Amino acid sequence: NAGVTQTPKFQVLKTGQSMTLQCAQDMNHNSMYWYRQDPGMGLRLIYYSASEGTTDKGEVPNGYNVSRLNKREFSLRLESAAPSQTSVYFCASMIGSLFEQYFGPGTRLTVT
Amino acid sequence: GENVEQHPSTLSVQEGDSAVIKCTYSDSASNYFPWYKQELGKGPQLIIDIRSNVGEKKDQRIAVTLNKTAKHFSLHITETQPEDSAVYFCAASRKTSYDKVIFGPGTSLSVIP
């Protein structure tokens, strides 16, 4: 039982490049989330998926897209990376009835 | 909009002393208050939570208290150990809304041996 896994762990992009961050969970959770973490700002929600087949915007969705590929996988795509997207990205999943979130180890992204 | 404030931003204590972190929230509809611990290079991990129908909850050396009237909740760690050193986040959410989990900015706790 690996919990929530994320790939890659680190990534450096040039401005304008695109990339996809991958997330998978093996806990059979319905809900999945993407957050970004910046110094002194806690975690801010980018997008979430309450269940397979649905996605919704969070607090800071601009510049990102997501895909809920199946119940296990939820990917985050940056179409044209900007320096403001330099951050640590966390994926999380949740048992809907208990509202307890489980986080992955994070992806540290630098955009130059 | 809704927000969660957290104080202090940094906290340094001697091993064996107690540590207290305080949070306030603005959304009066919040009814679930989790606390997460984030060690260096890792994702946040849930350590304790409290629901709005409970005023206090304990788990070994960790306790959380909730004052819904004042919209305050606090984390208390007793007999601190060096392995308690981490960043702690409080959060507030409505159990009826999947997107309404608002995190505080975090408290960096250092336990000095």
Per DSSP, the residues of A54-110 read --EE-S--TTEEEEE-SSSBEEEEESS--GGG-EEEEEEEEETTTTEEEE---EEEE
Give me the total of CB pairs closer than 8 Å, taking one residue from chain A and one from chain B. Answer: 51
In this complex, the residue of B9, B89, B93 whose CB is nearest that of residue A99 is: B93
DSSP label at residue A50: S
Window B:58-87, CB contacts with A under 8 Å: none
Chain A residues with CB under 8 Å of B34 CB are 99-101
Among A68, A101, A107, A108, the strongest candidate for a mutation testing the B interface, having the largest count of B CBs within 10 A, is A101
Whether residue B95 is predicted with pLDDT greater than 90 in this model: the reply is no
Residue A15 C-alpha, separation from nearest chain B C-alpha, in angstroms: 25
Amino acid at A26: D
pLDDT, position A48: 92
Is the predicted pLDDT of residue B96 greater than 80, yes or no? no
> pLDDT tens digits for B39-92?
998 999 999 999 888 899 999 999 999 999 999 999 999 999 999 999 999 999
Q: Looking at residue A99, what is its pLDDT?
A: 72
Minimal C-alpha gap between B20 and chain A (Å): 18
Q: What integer best gives the mean pLDDT of chain B? A: 92
The answer to whether the beta carbons of residues A21 and A76 sit under 8 Å apart is yes
> Which pLDDT score is estimated for B11?
98
More confident residue, B37 or B54: B37
Nearest in space to A109 (alpha carbons), one of A75, A72, A82: A82
Which tens digit of pLDDT belongs to each residue from B17-36?
999 999 999 999 898 999 99
Burial of B77 (0-12, 13-18, 19+ CB in 10 A): buried
- The answer to whether B105 contacts A42, with C-beta atoms less than 8 Å apart, is yes
Q: Residue A98: what pLDDT?
A: 65
Q: HSE-up of B21 (CA within 13 Å, CB side)?
A: 30
Question: From CA B83, how far away is CA B111, in angstroms rounded?
Answer: 8
The pLDDT, as a whole number, for residue B98 is: 65
Locus of tokens 């679930």: B32
Dihedral Cα A98, A47, A108, A22, nearest 10 deg: 80
Q: What is the pLDDT along chain A (112 residues), one digit of tens a residue?
A: 789 999 999 999 999 999 999 999 999 999 999 999 998 778 999 999 988 899 999 889 999 999 998 999 999 999 999 999 999 999 999 876 667 889 999 999 999 9
Whether residues B98 and A43 touch (CB distance < 8 A) is answered with: no
